[in-house]
Amino acid sequence: MLIGLKEALDFGQAHNCGIAAINTPTFEMLVATIKVAERYDIPMILQHAEVHEPVNSIENIGPAMLELAKRSTAPLVVHVDHGESYEFVKRGFEVGFNSAMFDGSRLPFAENLKITRDVVALANEYGYGVEAELGVMPGREDGEDSDAGVGDAALYTDPELATEFVAATGITALACSFGTVHGLYKAEPKIDYELISVLRRRTGVPIVMHGGSGLSAKEYRECIVRGVQKINYYTYADKAALEGAKQYLADHPETYVFAPVSVAVGRSVEQNLEELVRTLYEGQLSR
């Protein structure tokens, strides 16, 4: 079933857990994600990032995301992730996505604020929630520049600017930079937990963790306690998919069809996400 972004975030706050937001640019990843959500009957967020357009366009994968979400017994949000323009967010809404993130984090503050306000105004016409980003994290969702897999404190979110930004835009949630990175970590993550607390207190909105792959259970839980409600996750699920395909091909070197490889990919992603969910919903799962 479809639920809104705010409804999912409210669930996270009420149950002291993080809501997993999974990028699903391929059908195998999409089906695996929904299976895990249904297994535990928990809210999850299905995402398509603009950077994944070369894999599948939002007009192609989006209708599948929506149809499977509507059919599902689990409460699911269908979310535009890292929309880098007003136009891309609009495309997502036209497909039927019911939530969006505009990422203007690399723009000058005033320009980021202006476009974010425009996106919020558009979302308000539909009654949808909006996530936006302030502060810059190294790396990209597709892992293309993941060599910079360490945080940079000089790019962390400024609480003063964040307070102004949220008040001026009316966003539902704020993606912040506090030590995580997109892609693979090249060094031990150094998360500024106190900054998360300050940002949550000053802005009054849930904090979103991007670059959520690769953290320990203890790090996830501490971030949640400090005010992180939405946790974006992709790289390590994608890595699991590749490892599943490699393992199948190693075990079946004479195979000449793809379908069994696709099944192996889905199972590997499912196992990876199940471990994540058990961490984010610690003490809240009944199965």
Distance CA 125, CA 27 (A): 30
Alpha-carbon Rg for the chain in angstroms: 18
81 catalytic per annotation:
yes
Nearest to 4 by CA among 154, 118, 128, 138: 128
CA distances to 18, 34, 70, 146, 173 from 76, rounded to whole Å, are 14, 8, 8, 29, 17
Tokens of 40: 């535990």
Calpha distance 101→116 (Å, rounded) = 9
Measured distance CA(20)–CA(13) in Å, rounded: 13
Residue type, 126: Y
* Contacts of 226 by beta carbon, 8 Å cutoff, 6+ apart: 193, 194, 196, 197, 200, 207
Which of the residues 10, 41, 81, 145 is marked catalytic? 81
Of 92, 99, 167, the residue nearest 129 (C-alpha)? 99
Active site residues: 81
